[in-house]
């Protein structure tokens, strides 16, 4: 069993890299990819933990790209986190996130929610603070009854406390990943909100830009969505990947390796990724 989409305290997950790897070992996972948002500073600790626990570790990253509707995330596998271009690009994204966070805090205060930056940041394990941490702070202070309510009413796209941030284009995201020696994979295509024809056209364009794979096996994908992604991958000669998108306590319903309980990512998928990465 493998899981190629997970997060740690270096973005919006609740487990440290070491705890994440230990859990993977206990569950019998043979390979694990750590794909924290806009961050590769975790790679050294992740590699050391994988080596100590005997789990095959794949250094990764997840980049949110700029699209007019829906959301598009680009996963990068086997990236060199020390490559100067990628480090500079991720630094620019992180700075944009910091500016956006300050705007969210201001808007929440204007709505009457007495929150401090220190309260929000206390829910982030490392340096990266995101909207899930705002949701946790709001829940802790009784402003909402669930994290989902925080997003549905205030933090989600188009809601009163939402603020946008700097993002790369999908093409530039792919270029940054490839320049760092990685394989670019379209994450959970269902979140793009496109019908079959539009998704086909989008994947065709991304393939031309250097896309290497599609995440078909995913916790929130229906059987039909999974089948459609596999079909698209075969049509365009792309690798098929999969993962749970595990965050730990931030989304406890999604479990490592198995998602909501029925996710099964075939071990054989890793071979195609390794081939594309020249491993």
Taking each continuous run of H as one helix and of E as one strand, the counts in the chain are: 10, 7
What averages of pLDDT result for each successive group of 10 residues across the chain (279 residues)?
A: 96 94 97 96 97 97 89 96 95 92 96 94 79 93 95 94 92 97 97 92 97 98 96 97 94 95 95 91
For residue 69, the model assigns a pLDDT of 80
User: Backbone phi, then psi, for 77, in 5-degree steps?
Assistant: -115, 145
**pLDDT of amino acid 145:** 96
Q: What's the confidence (pLDDT) of residue 246?
A: 98
Residue 17's SS3 state is helix
- 250 close to 84: Cβ distance less than 8 angstroms: no
Would you state the pLDDT for residue 23? 98
Confidence at residue 178, expressed as pLDDT on a 0 to 100 scale: 97
183-186 and 213-218 beta bridge pairing: parallel
- Residue that the structure tokens 């300050």 belong to: 102
Decide: 132 and 189 in contact? Cβ < 8 Å. Answer: no
Domains annotated for the chain, with CATH where assigned, are 2-90+166-277 (3.20.20.140), 92-155 (1.10.150.650)
The angle, 0 to 180 degrees and rounded to 10, between the axes of the packed helices 17-27 and 43-53 is 30
- Among candidate residues 167, 237, 242, the one with its CA nearest the CA of residue 204: 237
Q: Which two tokens stand for residue 185?
A: 């994979």
At 57 the three-state DSSP class reads strand
For the CA atoms of 4, 162, 81, 10, what is the dihedral angle to 10 degrees? Answer: -70
Q: Are 243 and 265 in contact, with CB atoms under 8 Å apart?
A: yes
Question: How far apart are alpha carbons 131 and 32 in whole angstroms?
Answer: 25
């Amino acid at each position: 069993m493998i899981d190629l989409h997970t997060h740690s305290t270096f973005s919006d997950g609740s487990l440290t890299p070491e705890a994440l790897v230990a859990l993977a070992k206990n569950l019998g996972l043979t390979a694990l990819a750590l794909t924290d948002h806009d961050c590769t500073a975790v790679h050294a600790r992740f590699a050391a933990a994988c080596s100590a626990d005997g789990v095959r570790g794949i250094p990764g990253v997840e980049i949110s790209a700029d699209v007019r509707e829906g959301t598009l995330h680009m996963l990068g596998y086997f990236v060199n986190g020390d490559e100067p271009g990628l480090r500079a690009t991720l630094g620019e994204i992180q700075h944009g996130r910091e500016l956006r966070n300050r705007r969210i805090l201001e808007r929440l205060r204007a709505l009457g929610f007495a929150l401090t930056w220190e309260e929000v940041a206390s829910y982030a394990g490392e340096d990266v603070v995101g909207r899930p941490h705002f949701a946790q702070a709001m829940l802790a202070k009784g402003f909402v009854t669930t994290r989902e309510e925080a997003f549905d009413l205030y933090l989600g796209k188009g809601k009163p406390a939402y603020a946008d941030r700097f993002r790369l284009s999908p093409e530039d995201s792919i270029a940054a990943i490839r320049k760092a020696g990685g394989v670019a994979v379209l994450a959970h295509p269902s979140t793009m909100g496109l019908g079959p024809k539009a998704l086909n056209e989008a994947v065709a364009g991304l393939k031309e830009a250097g896309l290497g794979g599609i995440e078909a096996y995913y916790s929130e994908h229906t059987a039909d969505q999974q089948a459609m992604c596999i079909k698209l991958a075969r049509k365009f000669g792309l690798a098929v990947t999969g993962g749970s998108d595990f965050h730990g306590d931030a989304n406890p319903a999604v479990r490592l390796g198995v998602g909501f309980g029925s996710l099964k990512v075939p071990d054989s998928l890793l071979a195609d990724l390794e081939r594309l990465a020249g491993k």
